Structure 1
């Protein structure tokens, strides 16, 4: 049986027309969906980790990560406008490069969405515990407030429980969001639209208060760790991590099958949401650096990795001494304002993050269930996974399964490592999209393209090389997870998916009952 078989674009489009989900989203809703999915832990929490890796040079890290996302977004836009169906990079790869590579992309997207949701859960935990301490003085015991720290020794993984065992708040928020999605995404949509406004308002307030008091001397030395350093340090290493701050824009592409006039609105939603978020990020990063400084924490002149046990120990000692730098904070933006004399506003930023970050968790879990749904529709996963609840009309089985996985990962991994692991899956999917667009230009040059990527033979290679470069600058643990995860996926593919594939059986059409899924949470 040929594992390189493709699902023809014409068949995919015919399926979308005959068995489509309800088309209800316009350009504004897609932009809001993108902003809701993008703005989250990446900027609220990972700013501190980026500062530890690159110092003030993290400004360039945001630019690098934003540029890679921009060229990837242009590739996404062309494919999404041509193939306005659910499935994102998985569907595009299936149509262009065949089933086996499509499976690996879908499998990587599952890693991306689930681990990203876990990272946001851990970020939410940091803000909640910071608020509790600020208002009441209460702190959870260390073993319930954070997960252990994972490392790599030779060819074996290591784990350090001295700074945390299980992140209880992360488990709680993961299960609450899962319950909300099971009950119904129409309720989720209303909540998410409000939380997008809360996040944007919080970042705007931070920018308005921090920019007027920045000090030029805080920007020197500008790149204390250089351009590229060991174990993810340096400007490029920070870009590889902060790339997580942009993850989510492809959720716009995933919702193409539910979009009115997708040929026009999907590219608008992708590029508009990415552009708005990039401006916010640069202004927020400048505010952090200029107000309280963002030089890396060192021990004996050595810059420590923000996800290492040594860094946690150094931060604990600095906290006890009362001089912890912002790079140690688990609630960086709130802490910056407190350190700048705006304690109450800082607490309000913490409140905003606490109530808004669940919208990102919601979008990530929703995104993974959508990928599960499309893969099950193609027969690559058991179709029972796509069962829709008779009362709530939601894909309850895969939602609960995803939520449990998210809770487990959030409980036992730190936010930085989760973000880097998620990035590995994301970068692979983006890399494959960039390759797919070039292959399709050669194979089907005359196919109608409502949106054409400008300078495609420059933009697409830049996207592919940019994704590869960022992946190679991830920490070792994150780089190792992707091939291990991929190997597990290949076992599943050859043991189950290859034999049950609808395309392999000659079944191009799908079942009549696969169009019951609700619209995405950002619907207004």
Structure 2
């Protein structure tokens, strides 16, 4: 049977204790970790994408995406407190619904972490290019600052930052991540300054019409904005390195998500209402009055045409928040926002790539991937092979694809993983009702189905190409599973614990927690 390979929870916990990672993280560190992973390209860059899809209605999009993440976080909290080991959704699925579905979740998480890191790199590129242009007068040619669909050839800054982060992770996460807590502070301070300047000059008339593209546009924007919340599950990925995970993981998950949701709504309100131009946050239309799709060459051409007329709407900017402040006369503050994004966004690239290596580590520990992938560099003590492989994938995607499209691809994998976690909670409640649950999802028969339905709703609201990415990616994953992984699985071979000699320990600390 295809669903008969379930790894017992007791075996997973025993393996974690025997071959696990050092437990050193507390609730405050986990919350910082969550905030650091969440606040990034989503709010700094995808505000433009949301404005094109929904106009001022993106306020409602933030609420929808935040609610879906909230119910998913409650499900994550129960499983993370019960199974405090590395691997996140992959491990939970393995323990509840078996190896095949666990493989599919782990495979989908590559979209979340690796492709997500590419999206952040492209977002960073936009702020970097704008910062050089506005602060130093250095202009990077469009051909080298964007991919083909955005009117360029290759996004060179995104390539450079991806390779730099890869190199730092190979050299050592301790050396590359000591400033993570400082970078979180920089991001939060920058957004606070934005709110302090934008909210007092907000004009309620700029919110009309509130939903120019209707509920379809709002749902589409919510599906894209969902990327702005991705990262909170990195907290559960760190469960194996957490002190008292039964208490601290739920606090870290829900605390970071609540903080970011409130912050996002206030920032979005300021972006929409601050400018003196009532059409600033409305979607860009073509000459015939039809709404243009984000990430297309048609939108790029129209934005260039509008810029030539002295009008650059929010949807046309690659550095949304800095652009808003410059448009209301705060040029220097806008440049400072750009500087903050320039300094802080690489930490999100690092966190996402770090999370990807953690997923690969656990899959290799289970025998589903070549154990060579989890080998440790003799000098740097990091999983250099899998880090280099991840870095190549991230770099290629960032070089040629626009940020919105990358975010949508990433979301398709993330939504699948989140839905599987919610389903796992329901299955485990029935299959093992007596197991201790330090954190119990409240009203689970309501919350878990809402999480599944919410993930499905956002998934079908993605652009068609992003919807198709998941099944195509899944087919590739199934070919690898049946061609390689299934026959080498530890569980399939009757090994429920990892032999001491079969895989090296990987013990780099979580970024920012040293």
Instruction: Name the TM-score class by shorter chain.
Output: over 0.9
User: Aligned match of 1:314 in 302, 313, 319?
Assistant: 302
For 2:165 and 2:499, the matched residues in 1 are separated by 29
Q: How many pairs are equivalent?
A: 507
Retained in 2: the 8 A contact 1:3–1:498? no
Retained in 2: the 8 A contact 1:36–1:522? no
Quote the residue 1:152 is aligned against: none
Retained in 1: the 8 A contact 2:2–2:100? no
Report the more deviating stretch, 389-398 or 254-263: 389-398
What RMSD over aligned residues (CA atoms) do the two structures have, in Å? 1.1
Q: How does 1:284-363 map onto structure 2 within 5 Å?
A: 284-292=267-275, 293-299=280-286, 300-363=288-351
Deviation (angstroms), 1:3: 5.1
List alignment gaps of at least 5 residues for structure 1: 150-161, 229-233
Deviations 1:292-313 (A, max 9, x none): 2411111122111111221111
List alignment gaps of at least 5 residues for structure 2: none
Q: What TM-score do the two structures reach when normalised by structure 2?
A: 0.97
For 2:285 and 2:442, the matched residues in 1 are separated by 44
Paired residue secondary structure (2:410): helix
Deviation (angstroms), 1:165: 1.6
Quote the residue 2:238 is aligned against: 255
User: Aligned match of 1:184 in 172, 178, 186?
Assistant: 172
Deviation (angstroms), 1:321: 2.0
Quote the residue 1:154 is aligned against: none
Retained in 2: the 8 A contact 1:41–1:357? yes
Paired residue secondary structure (1:303): coil
Deviation (angstroms), 1:519: 1.7
User: Aligned match of 1:505 in 479, 493, 499?
Assistant: 493
Deviation (angstroms), 1:254: 0.3
Retained in 1: the 8 A contact 2:7–2:94? yes
Paired residue secondary structure (2:345): helix
Q: How does 1:24-423 map onto structure 2 within 5 Å?
A: 24-149=24-149, 163-228=151-216, 234-292=217-275, 293-299=280-286, 300-423=288-411
For 1:206 and 1:480, the matched residues in 2 are separated by 37
For 2:107 and 2:499, the matched residues in 1 are separated by 22
For 1:176 and 1:511, the matched residues in 2 are separated by 35
Report the more deviating stretch, 266-275 or 179-188: 179-188
Paired residue secondary structure (2:214): coil
For 2:4 and 2:412, the matched residues in 1 are separated by 24
For 1:171 and 1:220, the matched residues in 2 are separated by 39
User: Aligned match of 2:507 in 496, 514, 517?
Assistant: 517
Paired residue secondary structure (2:196): helix
Retained in 1: the 8 A contact 2:198–2:271? yes
For 1:145 and 1:516, the matched residues in 2 are separated by 37
Retained in 2: the 8 A contact 1:377–1:511? no
Deviations 1:316-341 (A, max 9, x none): 11112221111100000001001111
Deviation (angstroms), 1:279: 1.0
Paired residue secondary structure (1:227): helix
Deviations 1:412-452 (A, max 9, x none): 10000000000000000001011110000110111110000
Deviation (angstroms), 1:2: 5.0
Deviation (angstroms), 1:141: 2.1
Is 1:23 aligned to residue 23 of structure 2? yes
Report the more deviating stretch, 335-344 or 3-12: 3-12
Q: What TM-score do the two structures reach when normalised by structure 1?
A: 0.95
For 2:499 and 2:133, the matched residues in 1 are separated by 53
Retained in 1: the 8 A contact 2:177–2:347? no
Retained in 1: the 8 A contact 2:3–2:97? no
Paired residue secondary structure (2:179): helix
